[in-house]
Structure 1
Amino acid sequence: MSDTRPGGVARRRLLQGAIAAPAALAVPGLVGSAGAGSAAAAPVVPPTPAGFDPDSPRFALAVLPDTQYLFDEDRSDPEPLATTFRYLTEQRGLANVAFMTHLGDITEHGTQDEIDLADQTFEALDGVVPFSVLAGNHDIRSNTNDQRGDSPYLRAFGPSRFAGSETFGGSSPDGYNSFHVIRAAGREWLVLALDWRVSDAGLAWARGVVDAHSELPAIVTTHDLAYADQDGAASLSSNGRRLWDGLIRAKDQIFLALGGHYWPPGRTALTNDAGHDVHVHITNYQDRYYGGAGMIRLYQFDLVRNTIDVETFAPWFLMRESGERPPLGSEVIELTGDVDRFSLPVDFAARFAGFAPEAKPPSRPPTRVVGRDTVAYWRFDTLGLRGRVDEGMAVADGAVAQDLTRKGNDLVVRRLHSSAPDLLTRSLDHHDGAPAHASLRFDGGQSPNRGAILEAVANAPINSEKFLGGYTIEVFLKLPEPFEGNHAWMGIFSWQGRAGDAGKTAGYSPLEPTCSLNLSPERFLQYVLYPHVEDASPTSWSHALPVGRWFHVAVVNDGWQTVVWVEGSPITRNPKQPAHGIATLGRPFTIGATGWDLGFGQGFYGFLGDVRISKRALVPSEFMTPFE
């Protein structure tokens, strides 16, 4: 693979910087266009990268395998590794690099001269990027285990090297096994760096470390762990099997195990005693051009997407202009095979639940949700809808969901088209940030039309409220998985009444309601509004909503324009045209369907949680689930 594309370095910096920073800030020398009123375009000078952010939900773990051919008697060349370390220090803030771990075989023979040169090279990371180093069979006497005693390796890379490190937690009495505790993504993670041949005493020490940090997800690093066939399918080596049986399989905290030593690289997933996956990876490129050239692998943890993205590249080649790279170097700038560049889906909350269950926000009483600007608030636990909340229990026609503002906007349940009782049921399922830990499950649909609604009582003030000073309408919703049947254009909430009766002529049809939130056939949210003042029908469109996931949706109007927010994020297609108020007609506000010509077709299909309406524009930090 020859990389002759212009701006190869910028591309890599953009890829890495995108983990924690806007792409424009990650590309040196980016030129911006002149803004409105600017006299001329001017270069955008990238700011100095911020330091590592331990609270960002995205961070990177750098993995460095066998560098032994770069430290080989008078054949040594530390420059590739020095360049890798410069890259890591530069990218510490942009890529949010939390830690680097070396997998052993730093040197070829473990001599004093080789170790001294490696020691000097690693000084670039001291106090800048936290790291761990473990001994491979080429760094010490290979016929010994971690009870071997003194060695040049131990003097350079033993406990005294890391005593001042912010992450260093301690070492085994022999000094050849160590652990680090890193803080990233708002939590602590345990990294074990184990000798290439751990003794029984070393294994007992490692088990004790894991037990002493019983709530921390853990990563095991060692030198000899697994080998792979030419297709990248990995199997435990004999030493790896010993580590598996003596440590990893019984400790559910260990979710990732990394080794070098063998090539080609490979990976597999093993099942531990708790029935969970442990990802086992081999990383070693010493057989590649220039002994691997200090190639690194970045494990990019993304706790928002529940994914670990892995990529492998050589900064020594990457950070040189294409004309300055040796031809063979251009072929290994970046490795893109299935074992070198891949993504691991990991539901972190579920995977870590057995030893560190995620604390869910408790339910909140209505007094903490209702403010002075709250017009109406409905919830579907026992506080808002009387009766037990048993999963799947039908909600009867005539049941009342109380307006917890006590302003008289109660909702009454009504089924459409003689629908069956199980078309509206209670559920304990809810958005993690919802005040009430309950919801309603609607099973509406087409062919035939069916559904259920909750509509405001006839004299409810909400039916005629105009909201001329602005408003915020919030709802929690989830689409079922699987999403079965035809539910195109189903309604989530609406005000009953025809737009034509409000004197509106500019919209799609005079028969549609004056305000509604709907779902398109592609699962796009559609907010349709006929304002009280303008003869217009400004409409907002979201992206496609994934199924099986709760979302908080907020429709926010500041008295002039409307913006729809999903999970605290503004959608793209919000209209710029003025929109003052809502052209309500005194007909009921409705949850669970959108009417047409004063009637209803299909009802909503999915889950709906708390609904709140406020008479001013709220900011995300004021939503029912606050977003910063």
Structure 2
Amino acid sequence: MTPPHDRRSFLRATGLAGAGAAVLGLAGVAPASAEDQSADSSGQSWRPDQDNPRFTLAVMPDTQYLFDQDSIHPAPVEASLRYLLDRHRDENIVFLAHLGDLTQNGQAGEFDRIGKAFEILDRRGASYSVLAGNHDISSSTTDQRGDSAYLRTFGPRRFARSRAFGGATPDGYNTWHRFRAGGRDWLLLAMDWRPSPGGIAWARTVLAQHPNTPVILTTHELVYADDGSGQAQLSDFGRTLWDQLINDNDQIFLTLNGHYWPPGRTTLRNKAGHDVHLHITNYQNRFYGGAGMIRLYRFDLARNTIDVETVSPWILGQPAERRSALARQEIELTGPADQFAVPIDFTERFAGFAPVPARPPRPVRDLLVPGTVAYWRFDGGQADGAPFPESGTVADLSGHGNDLAKVGVPGSGPDALSFSRDHHPDQPGHGSLSFAGNQNPLRGAYLRTGAKAPLNAATFRSGYTVEAFFWLPTDWSSDQNAWSALLSRWGMSSEAHKTNGDPQEPVATLSLSGGRELQWAIYPLNLNGSVTNWGHELPLGAWWHVAVVNDGHHTTMYVDGCEVARNPSTESVGISTLGQPWLLGGYEYGGTLNQVFHGRIGDVRIVDRALPVERFMNAR
């Protein structure tokens, strides 16, 4: 039995598939308005934000049924193009890729009309690519076919003035384009319906000339999903392209094609062991020849996600009362093959060809900003996993003598406190301390300032900035590790004559709740009770940076440089003190040690004034 996708290929090649569907699809749709038929006139130039980590790649699949001999209906395509222009700043749309089969028969008249439609983009300098599908040229030929109406309309000369155009094969049927988004360069290959061996060799050369650039491959045929599950698989030609170009070029992380319907997707593992996402999108079989459907690939580099949406701007722009029953079904497609998210750790995925250089350690002097009263780091060259010596100390690198000494809980082993080479990627010092705290029974070891350390008496009346890097292991437990402190001050609130609050809690602590929420709870000088800043639940197995900033009146908490929500407006001046030590990794309650931190702590810095975010230790 001939596979369904082969039957479709035959019907398309002979021009019989859906020949009447384009006519039937017109029923019930009002004629295009003058506005629909007009060219874009807003005059806003194409200027995407090149550094924004959120940007959008637009994709337009087979438009052939809208440009079929004397059945010409450019309004849906023009509406989609104007939609991209009008929203390109709000959505940060950086590029449009057409996936081929622009026309039904490849005739000069058909190309003349769709070529005029794309002048909407040309007038605004928008970046886009096109490629030839089997209906745009003689489907039995390769890219060595010579002249064609496609080439005369969408050949390299059309893109000569485009900022995104990189070049083409001598035959003109294969092109490459570049755009800048998310602070880096991206490359898009637009490959012919049937690239010749020379065309594939050319593509490999382009990739070799841009070895550090992630690549999106567009071509008309690659995968199909005929069984209705949405799970795509390589076609015969797709397998050839995979074997000869995609598999051993790790830069290609996403492929987009049309030709077949229904839409679908799959993920294959390339020779380097990395995922390649292969997507098919085509809606020509749907009402009104696909109604100019576009697919929006919304990249979010910060969230490591591509959110995908499929919409018909032409139908979306029609007044509700004008939309036919069929049109209402096509405004936006929300099936699992039309609206979905693609999780990609971009840094990890691109590390094989574009590794992000590790941030080098920074010298101590660069961290000693004016007002630094204590600075501790743990990158003194100790072996990874080496136990912290029983009589060992950590020097206060600020020079103020707030050195730290180890205090072990009786019954704890030598691994209760150890050195680690692990660190936050933005941490100045490339090292940390591993705390193996446990509450029931109480076990672990922590560090403490000396009895005569100047920090013990500091009240920070004019303000302060307290910063720390820390890591929470995956075995962190709310039963055993809740309310452990990164940094705390010995001395109960009742001893400081604070009567409004828990009399047994310490006068200052930076702790983690049972829900892994950071808590900065202090008894300030100007109040009889406490003031508390709260963070949010933190995922395990990750490094974090916390900063607590007081400007002499109010306190604000930041996590990874981002202000949290629960920062009280209560005026808070200074920090109460009983002249007792500060604890790193230890927490006192009721006058005795109550908890020891479980995880890793990296660089810690205390400054006697408010620092702006750009001066935090994790600032770039």
- Is 1:492 the counterpart of 2:486 in the alignment? yes
1:159 aligned residue (152, 156, 159): 156
Mapped partners of 1:490, 1:324: distance in 2? 63
2:403 aligned residue (407, 410, 434): 410
Q: TM-score, normalised by structure 1?
A: 0.90
- Is 1:75 the counterpart of 2:71 in the alignment? yes
Q: Secondary structure at the match of 1:263?
A: coil
**Equivalence map 1:327-366=2 (5 Å):** 327-366=325-364
The Cα of 1:102 is off from its aligned counterpart by 0.5
Q: Secondary structure at the match of 2:132?
A: coil
1:441 aligned residue (434, 438, 457): 434
Aligned counterpart, 1:610: 603
Aligned counterpart, 2:219: 222
2:174 aligned residue (173, 177, 182): 177
The Cα of 1:626 is off from its aligned counterpart by 1.6
In the TM superposition, structure 1's runs of 4+ consecutive aligned residues that sit over 4 Å from their partners are: none
Q: Secondary structure at the match of 1:125?
A: helix
Which residue type is aligned with residue 561 of structure 1? H
- Is 1:583 the counterpart of 2:581 in the alignment? no
> Structure 1, residues 297-350: CA drift from partner, whole Å, max 9, x if none?
111111111111111111111223322222211112111111111111111111
Which residue type is aligned with residue 206 of structure 1? A
> Structure 1, residues 240-290: CA drift from partner, whole Å, max 9, x if none?
111100000000111111110000111111111001110111011111111
Mapped partners of 1:449, 1:301: distance in 2? 47
Mapped partners of 1:583, 1:353: distance in 2? 48
Which residue type is aligned with residue 174 of structure 1? D
Q: Which stretch has the larger CA shift, 305-314 or 315-324?
A: 315-324
- Is 1:256 the counterpart of 2:250 in the alignment? no
Which residue type is aligned with residue 603 of structure 2? D
The Cα of 1:81 is off from its aligned counterpart by 0.7
Mapped partners of 1:196, 1:398: distance in 2? 73
2:95 aligned residue (99, 102, 114): 99
Mapped partners of 2:56, 2:576: distance in 1? 51
Aligned counterpart, 2:447: 454
Q: TM-score, normalised by structure 2?
A: 0.91
Aligned counterpart, 1:525: 518
The Cα of 1:601 is off from its aligned counterpart by 2.1
Q: Give the fraction of aligned pairs with identical amino acids, expressed as a percent.
A: 51
Which residue type is aligned with residue 242 of structure 1? T
Mapped partners of 2:169, 2:49: distance in 1? 30
The Cα of 1:621 is off from its aligned counterpart by 0.6
Contact 2:304 2:344 in 1 (8 A): yes
1:66 aligned residue (48, 57, 62): 62
Contact 2:422 2:432 in 1 (8 A): yes
Q: Which stretch has the larger CA shift, 336-345 or 134-143?
A: 336-345
Which residue type is aligned with residue 164 of structure 1? R
Aligned counterpart, 2:15: none
Mapped partners of 2:314, 2:453: distance in 1? 70
The Cα of 1:452 is off from its aligned counterpart by 1.7
Mapped partners of 1:182, 1:227: distance in 2? 28
Contact 1:49 1:93 in 2 (8 A): no
Mapped partners of 2:289, 2:111: distance in 1? 17
The Cα of 1:598 is off from its aligned counterpart by 2.3
Aligned counterpart, 1:399: 392
Q: Secondary structure at the match of 2:272?
A: coil
Mapped partners of 1:559, 1:418: distance in 2? 43
Aligned counterpart, 2:38: none
The Cα of 1:49 is off from its aligned counterpart by 10
> What do you get for the CA RMSD once the two structures are aligned?
1.4
The Cα of 1:185 is off from its aligned counterpart by 0.4
Contact 1:167 1:182 in 2 (8 A): yes
Mapped partners of 2:401, 2:110: distance in 1? 82
Mapped partners of 1:419, 1:50: distance in 2? 64
Distance 1:571 1:86, change over 3 A: same
Aligned counterpart, 2:18: none
Distance 1:49 1:556, change over 3 A: farther
Contact 2:478 2:514 in 1 (8 A): no
Contact 1:445 1:485 in 2 (8 A): no
Contact 1:456 1:590 in 2 (8 A): yes
- Is 1:146 the counterpart of 2:143 in the alignment? yes
Q: Secondary structure at the match of 1:323?
A: helix
Which residue type is aligned with residue 447 of structure 1? N
Contact 2:46 2:85 in 1 (8 A): no
The Cα of 1:506 is off from its aligned counterpart by 1.3
2:420 aligned residue (410, 427, 430): 427
Q: Secondary structure at the match of 1:359?
A: coil
**Equivalence map 1:557-572=2 (5 Å):** 557-572=550-565
Mapped partners of 1:331, 1:484: distance in 2? 49
> Structure 1, residues 172-202: CA drift from partner, whole Å, max 9, x if none?
1110000011111000011000001011010
**Equivalence map 1:17-32=2 (5 Å):** none
Aligned counterpart, 1:310: 308
Which residue type is aligned with residue 302 of structure 1? D
